[in-house]
Amino acid sequence: MKKYLFGILMTISLNFLLADDHMPISYGMEGYQCDYKEGVTLNDLVEFTNEDLNPYADKSWSVPYSGFYLTPFLRSGDEVAFDVGWVGFTNTHKDMGIVQDSWFSDEASETFAKWETLTDCSSQGYYMAIEARTPKVQFTEGQTSFWAIRSCSLNEGKSVNDLLESDKAWNEYMDKLGHTGGVWRWVPIAGTPNSFEGDFLLNITFNSWEEYGSIQDDRFWEKTPRPESVISCDNPRIYSAFNARNRPFNTN
């Protein structure tokens, strides 16, 4: 119930921001958790994307779609029990619906069947991805970045407006640390586990392990004063994120 209430409050707050012409950038998002079929590796999935999925999507998807393979790296086996994840983004969830309609069409049956020979995917969920920090280095198809994902909740007495208003101070702080990646809040919509107790998932991206390590050194030793946090988060899980498909997004 808590996460759905947060989603409602987030929508209300964003509507007020829209009235003030300060609407944050947001994306429709889907996420899969999958295990490899026997003998399959990430290289096989990348080959499938290059030779099957992307040619089909270029011909059949009328909207932009950017997708990533997530490989767990820094994690606890008790909490992350899948081999590979897939996360895909569209400009809106209407656009995501266009992609899904195409994916379940007869035209996609051969491509879909090949995907099912490579993976077993036990879960699929929808999220609203709200951008809190625009990356200084844009994602590039065929390149790998590193994503720190954690579960977060608003602190007691703090509101969604407090959260949105704190973004400026935190962006200034991350600028001082030389952060070149982005920050997004993934608000659950459908298909996500009811056992999830946070308000949202926070995704902070990095363009190298050196960048990630440098920021952790600074934060641990508190070299750079940090702004007040209005959220509490658990320990992050770190994934390598291979950008398997990338098409430009119109955010105007």
Here the CATH number for the domain that contains residue 80 is 3.30.70
Number of folded domains in the chain? 1
Here the tokens at position 90 are 């569209």
Residue 17 resides in a domain: yes
Which residue(s) pair with 35 in the sheet?
120
Residue 250 resides in a domain: no
Q: Between 39 and 7, whose confidence is greater?
A: 39
For the stretch 209-217, contacts whose Cβ atoms lie closer than 8 Å and that sit 24 or more positions apart, written own/partner, are: 209/146, 211/178, 211/179, 211/180, 211/181, 212/146, 212/148, 212/238, 214/177, 214/178, 215/177, 215/178, 215/179
- CA separation for the pair 219, 200 (Å, rounded): 22
| Domain region containing 138 | 2-245
Condensed to tens digits (0 to 9), the pLDDT of residues 170-188 reads 999 999 999 999 999 999 9
Residue 251 resides in a domain: no
Condensed to tens digits (0 to 9), the pLDDT of residues 42-53 reads 999 999 999 999
The answer on pLDDT for 15 being more than 50 is no
Residue 252 resides in a domain: no
Residue 121 resides in a domain: yes
Query: What mean pLDDT comes out for the span 133-160?
Result: 96
Residue 127 resides in a domain: yes
Condensed to tens digits (0 to 9), the pLDDT of residues 59-99 reads 999 999 999 999 999 988 777 889 999 999 999 999 999 99
